[in-house]
Structure 1
Amino acid sequence: MVTPELPRARTYAYGKDRAQRVDVYWRKTEPGAAPRPAVLILHGGYWLHGDKAGWKYFARRLTEEGFVVLSANYRLAPRAQWPAQRDDAMSALAFLKDNAVRWNLDPQRVAVVGASSGGHLATQLGTFGTGSAQVRGVVALSPVTSPSLAYHDGGKPTATPSQRKLRGAVTALLNCVPGVSADEECLAKLEDSNSASHASTGDAPMLLMHTAGDFVPISHSNALAGALTAAGVPATVKGLDGDMHASGLLAGEKTYPTILAWLKERLRPGS
């Protein structure tokens, strides 16, 4: 019996900063093989922490399905303030496309998957500028699509510890306090960080998922999906049972098949 070859994995720099690194997962192909679709993964962690290595298992599963996968780190707050995180996500995406020949991938068939704050960045890639020109689709688990809403919810008397932490993370991300006395520069950064503010006809289709007890409520995705739908962009919001958050939604094998089927449909040739 022939043992299948394990996916190759290697770390590359896509920028000069120590945080600007990607782990690339791919399988060797025969000469002349058709280019493969690709997925860029963006980890969560309140924009404050987290690491690409946490998505190793998911990345390897996708390579088994014929995808080339890049899992990216990016500059974190408070050392780097918004929009450095979006800039890094865009740079990682450009690195992926610039190296299409190296990994035999199709630069026109790329999707991005993100969770929590990484889901926020994923939705930014799908909406900022002409999102569909950058990625073919976005899958976001528990995405913080609206830092404005996160800041507001974290200040409520009923806010959970995680929501209060997220409120503080928004101020670290923006390097300002977006309250009633905030200056115009702070409010402009806050608006720019809200993914729905960039929604337009040219955006990428999205699959957005939350659990019922998620501390990032489904209202984040409902608002973004509403803006996308109004612009004629397909957007699906799925509510799930339980209280898992971000990559926790992948536990139990109920969510992964849905994500995989969606990615295959969006990234099939000619779609």
Structure 2
Amino acid sequence: MSFPTFATFESLRRRRSAFLTAFTVTAAAVLSACSPVKVLNGLVPGDTYQFQGGIAYGQAPRQLLDVYQPLPSTQPARGSRPLVVFFFGGTWTNGDRASYKFVGEALAARGAVVVVPDYGLSPTFTYPVFVRDSALAVKWALDNAAQLGADPKQVYVMGHSSGGYNAAMVALDERWLAEVGASPRQLAGWIGLAGPYDFLPIGDPQAQAAFNWPDTPPDSQPLAHVTSASPRALLLAASKDNLVYPDRNTGRMAQALRAAGVPVQVRLYDNLSHVTLIGAFAKPIQWLGGPVLPPVMEFLGLASVPSDKAAR
């Protein structure tokens, strides 16, 4: 009887490492294109949440949202659940709510009510239309939180990339919620995933169009609106993000919040990219590169809430 040699084990280790590397690259490619994201969404469980789609939060064609609710048996109990309004990224130029089912499922399966709105996109619409749409969607969430089984005092805004900008502007710049009869003081917090918070001058052509560069007002930058009254924040980013630089954006935002006395948590991930930071919410690849979900769950007050469905 022969036993495996060290060389055999080493060969297996290398093959496993190569597989994981290849899978990581494939996952990044999947998450960077529209149709493969639909394939990824096809792998999301369908029995871990309840869904309502195409709800109007305004009168414009793009002012529609989807709602993901926990199952009745999921803790916390109805009425005490947090509600998260999630804004997708896409340089304010592309994206749609249906592509982010994997985010809605990940949070709803763990006890949060999730609202994913569409909003006006460039070049048809430019700043501040997408911020106004975002504020109107948040107003809808605040007004309907109790009806959806959430606690109206536990409403959060969250976004990835340009969606992180939308979330930050709604949370920090009082103008936008004030226009619709609400206030950032009604928010329990905001979560930014690789968001651009300080990006003047604008170099990206798509962002230039979205913000009418060079006629972009300085107060279009979230960093300009940090005050001691700002909601607490959780900021996540890939440490080697080469699209939205973390030092300039996440780093400066964290510094400004701390200087204003606002509680802020920061997590940087060495093994994730700008794209896979949000992709790591998807159930098939939640293990990829870093624990993104745990700090979000902790921030929402759901870290210790059991969920048999979510653990499958």
TM range (shorter): 0.7 to 0.9
Q: Residues of 1 paired with 2:94 and 2:129: CA distance?
A: 14
Residues 8-33 of structure 1 deviation map (CA, whole Å, 9 limit, x = unaligned)? 33220111111111101114649x94
Asked whether 1:17 is paired with 2:17, we answer no
One-letter amino acid matched to 1:217: Y
Q: Which residue of 1 aligns with 2:285?
A: none
Asked whether 1:46 is paired with 2:72, we answer no
Which runs of no fewer than 5 residues in structure 1 stay unpaired? 155-166, 178-185
Deviation at 1:55, TM superposition (A): 1.6
Q: Which residue of 2 aligns with 1:225?
A: 254
Q: Residues of 2 paired with 1:33 and 1:209: CA distance?
A: 28
Asked whether 1:102 is paired with 2:131, we answer no
For residues 152-167 of structure 1, the aligned pairs below 5 Å read 154=203, 167=204
One-letter amino acid matched to 2:205: G
Asked whether 1:242 is paired with 2:271, we answer yes
Q: Residues of 1 paired with 2:259 and 2:302: CA distance?
A: 23
One-letter amino acid matched to 1:120: Y
Asked whether 1:148 is paired with 2:148, we answer no
Does structure 1 conserve the Cα–Cα contact (< 8 Å) formed by 2:235 and 2:267?
yes
Q: Which residue of 1 aligns with 2:188?
A: 136
Deviation at 1:6, TM superposition (A): 4.2
Q: Percent identity?
A: 28
Q: Which residue of 1 aligns with 2:41?
A: none
Q: Which residue of 1 aligns with 2:310?
A: none
- TM-score with structure 1 length normalisation? 0.80
Change beyond 3 A, Cα 1:90–1:138:
same
One-letter amino acid matched to 1:146: D
Q: Residues of 2 paired with 1:57 and 1:65: CA distance?
A: 13
Q: Which residue of 1 aligns with 2:100?
A: 55
Q: Which residue of 2 aligns with 1:8?
A: 51
Asked whether 1:255 is paired with 2:292, we answer yes
Does structure 1 conserve the Cα–Cα contact (< 8 Å) formed by 2:190 and 2:231?
yes
One-letter amino acid matched to 1:142: A
Does structure 2 conserve the Cα–Cα contact (< 8 Å) formed by 1:139 and 1:206?
yes
Q: Which residue of 1 aligns with 2:118?
A: 73
Between Structure 1 and Structure 2, how many residues are aligned? Answer: 239
Which runs of no fewer than 5 residues in structure 2 stay unpaired? 1-46, 178-182, 281-287, 306-312
**In structure 2, the residue corresponding to 1:109 is in which secondary structure?**
strand
**Structure exhibiting the larger radius of gyration computed from Cα positions:** 2
Bigger shift: residues 132-141 or 32-41: 32-41
- TM-score with structure 2 length normalisation? 0.70
